[in-house]
Structure 1
Amino acid sequence: MDTTESSLQLFPSMSGEGAELRKPHEMIVMIPRTKRVTLTGRKIYNALLHFSQDRLVSMEGMPTADFMFSAPLQSILKVSGSSSETRTVAKRYLREMRGLAVDWETTAPGDGVKWKDFSMLAEAAIEVRNGENWVLWTFPPTLITALKDPMRWARIDLGVLATLSTYTSVALYEICARYRDNPGGLTSRKPVAWWADALSPAPAGSERREWRKFKNEKVKAAVEEINAETDLQIEMIEHKQGRSVFEVQFAVRKKRVAVKLVEQEQLGPVDADLVLSAQALGISEMKIEGLIKEFGEKAVNEKLVVLKQRLENDGLKKVENSFAYLRSLLRSPGDDDEIAKPRTSTETNAIPHVDRVLQSAKAEPQALSPSQVQNKAFDEWIADRRRFVTDEIQKLDSFQKEQLFKAVAHELTEKGLMTPVLKRRAAQGDMMHGALGVHCVNHYAKVLLGPDWNKPDADLFGVVAR
C-alpha cells in the first residue's frame, strides 16, 4: 500500500458538508448484538464507509485481501461532525467498532436479516504519516462487495447527518432517506419491537422499552429534529389492533426547495464551461450536476459567480467548502446582502445573502485593477482557444473522433480519473459534454497547438498564464 498518497488528492473535501454516501439498502438498519453503539461511533462509521466507497469507485476491481483503506483522522472527524481530534478518542471509537457484532437488515417488507453477527470492522489502526494522524481500516469482504457496487442504495447526506443530536434521529433519518424518492412516500410497516431495536443503540431486546414509552422518550423528539434540521419531512403512522399499537411506518417526503426550476426546464448535458468554472472552485462534476438537477443550470451559473467573488474577497472568513457554500446560496434565495462586508465573529457562521449587494455593485461599477484586467484578458484568450479546438474536433471524421475519444478514455483510466459518471457517458458516446468534453479539448489542444497551448507568451498580457 502506498503510504505517500496525497491527502489533498484522495480527499478533496475536508468538510462533512456535501459529503454523500450511497449506502446499500442492506446496510441501512444496524441492530447491535453484543453491546451499545454510541452516536459518535455510528457517525464515524458512516464516514469510514464514505471514504471507502470513494476509494473503491476509483479501483478497477476488488481490493486484495490484505488491502486497508486509509484517510486522515482529521478528515474522518470532520465528515462525521466530531469536534475532537485526539488519537485517544479516535482509538476508543475504532475499538468500539472493531469489537462490535451487529445484524444488518433491509427495510423491505419480509426481507428480514441480511447478514447476522457481522463485525463492523475487520481491522483498524492509527499511524502517523508526515506528522499527521491517519486511520487505516478494512471491512469484512461481504460488506466491501456491497459497498463497491450497490444494487440499490439510499443517498445519505453526511453533512445533514452530522447535525443530528441523538442516535435515534440518525437511525431514523437513514431509514427514511431510503424512501426519499419512493413514489408512495411510505416506509415498510414493521412491528413496534422491530422499530425499537432498529432505532436503539442498545443490543436487540436487552433494554427494549414499551413502545408507548420509547415513542414518547425517543421517537417523537427524533421526528421533530429530522423535520427541523434535514431535507426530509416525516410523519409517524401507527397501526392498531384494538387499543394497542402493533405496527408502525413513516410517511416521507422531500421538503420543497425555495428555488424552482424555471418552467421545469429539461436538463441537457452540462455545459463544459460551467463544469470548468465549478472545478476551478473545487467542486466536482458529479456534485455540480446534482445541483443543476435540483435548481437549474441558470441559477447554478449565477451563484457560481457569487461564490467566485466570495472566494476572492480577502476581507471575509475563508470558505472551507465551496460546494457546501454554493448549495447554501442556492437554498437561501431572497434577502441577499453583505457579500463584501466583513462579518463580526458572531456572524461568521451565517449564510451570506448577496443579490442586493450585487445589484448595487452593478449600479455603481468600479474600475478594474491592472491585475483584474490581465486576468480577464487571459480568460477571454483561453476561451477563444478552447472554442477553436472544439471547432476543429467537430471537423474530424467519425474514425478520427473515435480514435480521439479512445485515447482520452485510456488516459483518464490510467490516471484513475474515470469515475462511474464518466464511464457511463463514455459508453453512451457522450464524449463532448461535461468533464469528458473538457478532457477531449485539452487532449486535442496538445496535438494541434503543442503542450503549452494554454500558456501565452509573457508579453501578451504582461503576465504568464495562471
Structure 2
Amino acid sequence: MATRKSKARSDALTTLESGDLKQFRKTNEAIGLRVVEGNLSLLSRKVFNVMMYHAQEMKEPGLNAPINTPAAKKYFWIPLSDLARDAAYDSKDVQYLKRQLEDMQNIKLLMENERQWTSERLVSSVTLVNPEGFNKHSGQVWFGFAFPPEVHEQVMAPSTYTRLSIVYQSSLKSGSALALYEICRRYATNPSKLTFIQSYEHWYGVITGNPISAEAPPVYKYFKRDTIKPAIAEINALTDINIELVEHKNGRRVEKLQFRVEQNKQPQLEFPAPPVIDVELIGRIMKFGFSQTDASDLAAQYQDDVIRAAISRVEIRAESTSMSPLGTPAGYFRWTLQDIARNPSSLLLSAPKTISKKNPAGPSVMEKFLAARAQDALAVYKELDEKEHKQIFDAFKAQNLNKSIKLDKGIESAMVRSLFSTWYAKELWGEPTAQALAQFIEQFQPAA
C-alpha cells in the first residue's frame, strides 16, 4: 500500500468516543449486493452508505426540505457539503459527482428470500437544489434522495444487520477494499470468525461490484494479485478488523475462497482522508483501457507522483513512431507502476547483477544492458492476462518460424524464454539508443 496512506494515519490520529463514529445499520442482504446491471464504484458505495446513515438519523423524509413542494416531502435532505465530507469526496468537480449519482440509478439489484423475489434499482431519485438559484455562487446547495420501496424498507427497518461506521469507510481508498470490509465486518463477532465459502467467481462479483453474469472474471492469480491482496492490505492497515484469505483447492486449482476475520482491540480511530477522486488522473489512467473502477483502485494503491511518472512513461512509449505499436498499454502501465514503486530512481531498467571487477572477461556493457532490458520485458509480459499472452506469443512465433527451436512449451523453455524476452524488449522499446545506454551506465555500472 502506498506510504501516503500510512503517513496520513500516523500524522493525525485522534481517538474517538463510540458516539463519534457515525455508525449506521446495514441490512445483511445489502452487504455484498447482487448487482445484475450497472457497476458499484468506490464513490457510489460510499455515497450509498452516507445516504443510509443520514436517512436513519432523520428517520423520515421531508425534514430540512429547502423548497416547499409536495415532491420535496418525499426526499431525505442533507447539505451537499455534508455528503462530500462524509463520503471523503474532496474534489470540487460537481459534474463528476452528478454523473456518479446518475449511475447509481442505473444499478439494478436482485433481492430474493423464501417468500419474495424483487428486481429493483439501488436509488429511485436524486436531486440537487439551491433555493437562491442553482447556477449562482451564493446560497446552500442541498442533496435530496429517495429509495425505491424494498430498498427503503431495508434501509429504515433492517431485520438482521451489521453496524458499520462512516469513519472507517472514509479511510478506504478502493471500492474492492470497501466491499470486502463490509462483508468481513459482518463476521467479526461471529464465533467461527470465518466468512461464508463461495467460488472465486462469486467473490469477484461482490468485491468488484461488477455484474456476476457479465464476462468471465480474470484468471484467479490475477484477481488475487490485483484485487484481493491490495484490498486486504488496506483493510488491515486502516480499519478496526484484520482479515486473512483462506483458499480452498481442488488439487492444485483454487476453486473457493473465504476470509478469517479478527476484530482489532485498539482504540477506534479517525484520521483525515486524502482526496478520494482526482478526476484528471483517473481519466488519464482510463485512456489505457481501464474501467473507472479499476482506474480508481490503481490510484488508491500508489502515490500520485508514481502514477504520474508511470503515465508519462507509457504515453511517451505509445506515441513513439520509431517502435512497433504498443498493443497492451494496460499491462505495460501496471508493470511500470510496480517498476517505479520498487525503484523510484529508475527511468527504464532494473539493476542487473553486479559483475565482479576481478572478472574483466565478463559481459560487455551492451550485453548487460540488453540482458537487463530483456528481464524487464519478461516482467511486463507476466503482468498481462492470458488473452494478451496468446496474442503476443503468436506474433513472436510468426516471426520465428524458421528458427531451429521448438516453441511448443512457450516460455517454460529456457531457450525460448531467452529468445522471446529479447524479441519482446525490442517490440516494447525499439533499438537501443545512445541515450538509454548512457543512462544505464550512469545508474548501474560500478564506479571505477
Q: TM-score, normalised by structure 2?
A: 0.49
- Return the structure number with greater relative CO, CA threshold 8 A, min gap 6: 2
Q: What TM-score do you get using the length of structure 1 for normalisation?
A: 0.47
